[in-house]
Amino acid sequence: MELLDDNQMRTINMVKATSRTWSEKPTLFIKFAGTKSAVREAIDIVGTIAKNNNGGKFEFARSEKEKHDLWSARKEALFSVLSLREKEGEVWTTDGMSPLFGNFFRCGIEADGSCGADFETPGPY
């Protein structure tokens, strides 16, 4: 599970790091593994949760190409930030994931001082 905030999604669009234009909202990337039926069930559950909580657009990949396209923003995030540096320096990244799911969202909300459930949710593949 990876969360990119609205600034990161805007940066990815600004540098045209991927083949698509992304919604500039906090975006949650989720990857599931398991049997086809388990993954399908997970997709249905996450889609329902997203819908019931104003989660915005919910997407999931049906092919390897779609998987690549969907995850391209996540994979290009660091390089997008690096390309906009005005001077030499380092970029520090960290993992804000907590064993308690609720803390994951609190971490993202506290990071930018806002609160809301308007997330784009590229889902599992």
Pick left, alpha or beta for residue 80 (phi over 0 → left; psi -120 to 50 → alpha; otherwise beta): alpha
Domain, as residue range, for 100: 2-122
pLDDT in tens, 19-63: 999 999 988 888 888 999 999 999 999 999 999 988 888 888 888
Q: Measured between alpha carbons, how far is residue 93 from residues 19, 66, 82, 90, 117 in Å? A: 24, 27, 12, 10, 24
Number of domains forming the structure of the chain = 1
pTM above 0.85, yes or no: no
